[in-house]
Amino acid sequence: MSGLVSSLFDFSFTDFITSRLIKILYVILLIGIGIVSLLMFIGGLSQGGAVGYFMAFILMPIYLVIAVLYARIMCELLIIFFRISETLTEINGKISINQQ
């Protein structure tokens, strides 16, 4: 935990906290998507009629799948960017050592 706190106040941005917090971010996104989906379902059922049932049984599952896929892809892209950065930093360090 002290590493996380020290990373928060690292003004040179050499330590990245996003790669440590991405799991928590993903869980928060899934909870938010679940709440919105539940509200869509309840709203559709309470509205009734063809439009309400269409929203509850057709649009809500489509939204749920697309939103979860989108959240997962965005989190994976963040991780990929940070892994690229770490790998390039490692390569740069190896090149600097070989040139000396």
Instruction: Concatenate the DSSP letters of all residues of 27-57 into one string.
Output: HHHHHHHHHHHHHHHHHHHHH-HHHHHHIII
pLDDT band for position 2 (50/70/90)? low
Sequence spans of domains, the chain: 18-91
pLDDT, tens only, 5-58: 777 777 777 777 877 889 999 999 999 999 999 999 999 999 989 999 999 999
Pick the closest to residue 20 from 3, 32, 45, 33 (CA basis).
3
| Sequence-distant (≥ 6) Cβ neighbours of residue 23 within 8 angstroms | none
For the entire predicted model, the pTM comes to: 0.78
